[in-house]
Structure 1
């Protein structure tokens, strides 16, 4: 079955046979799709480059489709440095966590917005990453309240909380349990990144949550944010 042209982005590409590539696409209506992009490594036509808005169509019924057409759909976000590494991180998250063929129109819009923000504010990538991670978790159905605990009691600024996949947030008394300060959780819920606790707490929490769904295989893109790099967001 052949699809009509629809907006898409390249998330990942690797060589396939002589001049082709296996490409993971994030499409507006088809969600995550893996396609054979014939001639991707030849000297002609559109190339499968990340962060470039495309209009694409594909053909096929199985898990691996064949790309039929690809057109550049406009100007693209030019990412460099930490912004580039952050974009690669977002791409890897999507490839690892999305189910093929599951349309995510809101997530597609969130991804576009994240790329634009990374390009506009390359020195301030952490709020973009934390907001996208949270949006991804919520839209995939793994979300939980940041303002109420597991007993549906309000999260309190002066209380410590831990998180579990089964319960969500629950209060703890002993700081040795590695609790998350309620003030930081509330600031994260409000996206109040000016609060000094918001970003560190959001980073700790999102790492815990994502680890459950990513499994034991580490994210390759995290290696780009090795300790000592300027502005290390991961």
Structure 2
């Protein structure tokens, strides 16, 4: 089956055989797809090697057969997104999150839109932490793993002034000393639900909540988490 002119971003690419690339692309209508770009590493290739980079909005065409497709065409769908410093590290984290959590050929148009919006915000806004929390909230929800932000595990409404422990399976539990789950203020959960940026300390709490949730879903760590990080008050790198 031939797929033409599909909006996409590259999540990852690695050499394949002597002259090709194996790429993982995140597409609007087909979700994450694995593609082989044959011969693209030759000096003279019909495929534009320079376009096959992360943070470049693309239109991809491929022939799908089995789990891996064959890339047949690629063209730019806009200017590359220029990121540096903390914003670049944040984008690396976002790419790995999408790569690890999304299934191949499982379309999530809203998740794709959230991803594109996240990259645009990272390019425009100096602080990455709030952009990441908003993306994580929307992306997890689109995959069916929505964070419980307004209702506690006991069925009661989350209270802004209460402290909770966030269990990825159950949601917000009344805080108890010695719990293994991250502590979070009710006001932080409600702020994320309302799309209102919380205080820096609460933003850091939300980061720990999301990290615990992702770790629970994956059964392990993300490589991006091992990168050098700034103090927790800013914490822009995922």
Do these two structures clear the TM 0.5 threshold for a shared fold by scoring above it? yes
User: Are residues 1:31 and 2:28 paired?
Assistant: no
Q: Which shifted more, 77-86 or 176-185?
A: 176-185
Q: 1:73-152 counterparts in 2 under 5 A?
A: 73-121=77-125, 123-152=126-155
TM-score by length of 1: 0.91
Q: Find the counterpart in structure 2 of residue 183 from structure 1.
A: 187
How far did residue 97 of structure 1 move?
0.5
Q: Mark the CA change 1:158 to 1:215 in structure 2 (over 3 Å): closer, same or farther.
A: same
Aligned-pair CA distance for 1:176: 4.2
Secondary structure of the 1:109 match is helix
Segment drifting more, 6-15 vs 195-204: 195-204
Deviation, 1:63, is 1.0
Give 5+ residue unaligned stretches, structure 2: none
Deviation digits for residues 137-193 of structure 1 (CA, Å, limit 9, x no counterpart):
111111143111123211112222122233222223x34435322122222222322
Closer, same or farther: CA 136–226 of 1 in aligned 2, 3 Å: same
- Aligned residue among 152, 160, 165 for 1:162: 165
CA contact (8 A) 1:160 1:175 kept: no
Deviation larger for 220-229 or 46-55: 220-229
Counterpart-to-counterpart distance in 1, 2:143 and 2:232 = 31
Structure 2 residue aligned with 1:15: 15
**Superposition TM-score, scaled by structure 2 size:** 0.89
Q: Is the 8 A contact 2:161 2:185 kept in 1?
A: yes
Structure 1 position 204, deviation (Å): 1.3
Give yes or no for contact 1:51–1:77 (8 Å, CA) kept in 2: yes
- For 1:151, what is the secondary structure of its paired residue? coil
Determine the structure 2 residue equivalent to 1:220.
223
Aligned counterparts of 1:162 and 1:198: Cα–Cα separation in 2: 13
CA, structure 1 residues 36+111, in 2 after alignment: closer, same or farther (shift >3 Å)? Answer: same
Aligned to 1:13, the other structure's residue is in SS state: strand
Unaligned runs of 5+ residues in structure 1 are none
Q: In 2, distance between residues paired with 1:108 and 1:204? A: 24
Residues matched between the structures, number: 231
1:231 CA displacement: 4.8
2:168 touches 2:212 (CA, 8 Å); kept in 1? no
After superposition, the Cα gap between the structure-2 partners of 1:149 and 1:194, relative to the gap in structure 1 and judged at 3 Å, is closer
User: Structure 1 pair 215/71, CA: closer, same or farther in 2 (3 Å)?
Assistant: same
> Using a 3 Å threshold, how does the CA distance of structure 1 residues 149 and 21 change in structure 2: closer, same or farther?
same
Paired residues of 1:192 and 1:198 also in contact (CA < 8 A): no
